[in-house]
Amino acid sequence: MKMYGNWRSAAAFRVRIALNLKGIAYKEVFLDLDSGDQHKPDFLAINPQGAVPALFDGDGPPLTQSLAILDYLE
């Protein structure tokens, strides 16, 4: 799994906790929200809302809402 997040994001923190509690291996790509990484075209192609977290599981579409991600992981 691959997750886009930021260390200050409570939503990304929630997903990070769930991934760790379930023992799921993931790679996190940190976005610098202060410099506007969430508004760059590369990330907007992943999540048009420009919000973190965004989670990829394989080749499927990204999951972009923390509660939806938690439900998916369950």
Q: What does the mean pLDDT of the chain come to? A: 96
Q: pLDDT tens digit string along 29-57?
A: 999 999 999 999 999 999 999 999 999 99
Tokens for 50?
Answer: 């420009």
The mean pLDDT of 11-20, rounded to a whole number, is 98
CATH numeric code, 2-73: 3.40.30.10
pLDDT, mean of residues 9-18 = 97
**Percentage, residues of the chain above pLDDT 70:** 100
The DSSP 8-state label assigned to residue 40 in this structure reads: S
Nearest Cα to Cα of residue 55 among 25, 35, 23? 25
Domain ranges of the chain: 2-73
Grade residue 26 by pLDDT with cuts at 50, 70 and 90.
very high
| Element containing residue 57 per DSSP (H, E) | none
Q: Is 50:38 a contact under the CB 8 Å cutoff?
A: yes
pTM here is 0.90
